[in-house]
Structure 1
């Protein structure tokens, strides 16, 4: 979060969720929020259900699964969680190869 001071200088006031912050396609959010109906309603448009849109979201899930695998194993030392994320990533790769 940024704000201007009385001299019109921009200053950083806070950093929120810097662990996984990124800029990207707004449909990436649907991957993170499990296609929640209330969340979709807030976007005021339907998601892309073409073959390309579905494949793109599978790729977004793969990015999420691999990032989570790293974070869960390295930052949290959670081997069970890592294995779940790793298996999720493998399943997604299989779906993408079809």
Structure 2
């Protein structure tokens, strides 16, 4: 049987929306910690909006030298994962 692991960004007081509004930038040390967690995953379950945000960012990050090595490694992981997208609409998620 497979495990489902919940991973989400939140503040100590429970804010979940718009992480960049309350978090600022993610430094390389944080990316390395996140990457260690993601190393054991092969599939991600995401909502349509999150998927569209991911697909808009991660493919370009694969070769972005300014993003740092850890960011490129994470981009490779995200790119290779099987993605299951949940949505309340009948619209197809954008795939690139």
Q: Normalization by structure 1: what TM-score?
A: 0.29
Q: If each structure's strand is expressed as a fraction of its own residues, which one has the higher value? A: 2
Specify the structure having the higher radius of gyration (Cα).
Answer: 1
Between Structure 1 and Structure 2, the one with more helix by share is 1
